[in-house]
Amino acid sequence: MKPSRDIARLIEIMAALRAPGTGCPWDLEQNFATIAPYTIEEAYEVVDAITRGDLDDLREELGDLLLQVVYHAQMAEEQNAFAFGDVVEAITRKMIRRHPHVFVDKDGNLAPSHVMEVWDRIKAEEKAERAARRPPEQTSHKSLLSSVKAGLPALTRAMELQRKASTVGFDWNDPRAVLHKIREEADEIEAALDRNDKQELTAETGDLLFALVNLARHVDADPESALRATNAKFERRFAYIERALEAQGRTLEQASLAEMDELWNAAKRSERPAAGSGDTARSR
């Protein structure tokens, strides 16, 4: 089978990988739940390529993300639920419906300021239509938080849950109150450490992360972007340690923790003029 620019070839490849008896053993074992984490991961890889401005890599990562769509569609087709063509038809219908000023109202184009109003109205209509199609047991409880999608990354979903709750006044009034909550959660983690309760430690760590997201929201910081920037900073400073030791003809394994700490602080000092703001402590 040869590569092709035609999407049909990718669908054929996916079908071959899932073919009982002749397909790939690993692919045959997968289901929607086991593939979902890879779908999220590939979306992040796309974002990473965009952040780095690497268009060659972006092409590759978009292909990996497209494969995830084809993979899910193939599994759905095996269950006689829907096929890839149905996915394409659904999104084309949606985009045409949501852009009447482009595809329908040729004589009545909307001003840019009104486009989002129309978009939101049509999305609300579509949501109501989907809800009407669901079985009664899935629509028995209408929570304020139901509109926050379960598939969002955890940090993003925490932010959206908090934002939604804040619309009815369930919120802190002062970022310092959130900071107090963070200290409270940290104390609870320390108590769990004393008890060596792993299940409690997991729960309390989640509470701390949720409180940190709340702080980010109150200071107008996106937690995903903030953590991504800190990850990059950690990688940059750790690379400084590696380069410094390499210049000495040594490896990480040959250096003591105290030596690596000293180099870490040197990396921080070298960045300070460019940073222009406060610094965070080393994380390990």
Confidence at residue 140, expressed as pLDDT on a 0 to 100 scale: 56
Q: What is the mean pLDDT of the segment spanning 207-220?
A: 96
The two tokens of residue 45 are 């890889």
Which of 188, 206, 221 is the C-terminal boundary of a domain?
221
The two tokens of residue 284 are 């390990």
Q: Which of 24-33, 74-83, 117-126, 161-170 has the lowest mean pLDDT?
A: 117-126
Per-residue CA distances from 101 to 25, 95, 117 (Å): 48, 11, 12
Q: Which of 115-129, 130-144, 190-204 has the lowest mean pLDDT?
A: 130-144
DSSP annotation of 6: S
Confidence at residue 118, expressed as pLDDT on a 0 to 100 scale: 72
Q: What is the mean pLDDT of the segment spanning 143-155?
A: 82
Same domain, 192 and 239: no
Same domain, 179 and 215: yes
Taking the C-alpha atoms of residue 225 and residue 8, their distance in angstroms, rounded to an integer, is: 36
In a domain, 180, yes or no: yes
Confidence at residue 207, expressed as pLDDT on a 0 to 100 scale: 97
Confidence at residue 279, expressed as pLDDT on a 0 to 100 scale: 52
In a domain, 1, yes or no: no
**Whole-number average pLDDT of the chain:** 88
Same domain, 18 and 58: yes
Same domain, 92 and 163: no
Confidence at residue 276, expressed as pLDDT on a 0 to 100 scale: 45
User: The domain containing residue 254 runs over which residues?
Assistant: 225-271
Asked if pLDDT for residue 283 goes beyond 60, the answer is no
**Per the structure, how many domains does the chain have?**
3
Taking the C-alpha atoms of residue 42 and residue 282, their distance in angstroms, rounded to an integer, is: 29
Q: What is the mean pLDDT of the segment spanning 165-183?
A: 94
Same domain, 197 and 99: no
Same domain, 11 and 124: yes
In a domain, 142, yes or no: no
Asked if pLDDT for residue 2 goes beyond 70, the answer is yes
Is the Cα torsion angle 241, 243, 249, 254 positive or negative in sign? positive
In a domain, 2, yes or no: no
Maximum distance among all Cα pairs of the chain, rounded to whole angstroms: 73
What percentage of residues in the chain have a pLDDT greater than 90? 65
Taking the C-alpha atoms of residue 122 and residue 102, their distance in angstroms, rounded to an integer, is: 14
Which of 129, 162, 188 is the C-terminal boundary of a domain?
129
pLDDT tens by residue, 217-239 = 999 998 988 998 999 999 999 99
Q: What is the CATH number of the domain that holds 211?
A: 1.10.287.1080
Same domain, 232 and 122: no
In a domain, 14, yes or no: yes
Same domain, 93 and 45: yes
In a domain, 144, yes or no: no
Same domain, 40 and 86: yes
Q: What is the mean pLDDT of the segment spanning 243-264?
A: 96
- With H, G, I as helix, E, B as strand and everything else as coil, classify residue 248: coil
In a domain, 187, yes or no: yes
What percentage of residues in the chain have a pLDDT greater than 70? 88
Taking the C-alpha atoms of residue 262 and residue 241, their distance in angstroms, rounded to an integer, is: 9
Same domain, 231 and 267: yes
Confidence at residue 105, expressed as pLDDT on a 0 to 100 scale: 55
Same domain, 101 and 189: no
Confidence at residue 141, expressed as pLDDT on a 0 to 100 scale: 62
Q: What is the mean pLDDT of the segment spanning 39-50?
A: 89
In a domain, 147, yes or no: no
Same domain, 16 and 112: yes
Q: Name which residue leads in pLDDT, 115 or 57.
A: 57
The two tokens of residue 247 are 């210049």
Confidence at residue 277, expressed as pLDDT on a 0 to 100 scale: 47
- Residues of 197-215 as b/e, b for ≥16 C-beta within 10 angstroms? eeeebeebeebbebbbbbb
Which of 85, 114, 129 is the C-terminal boundary of a domain?
129
The two tokens of residue 220 are 């107008």
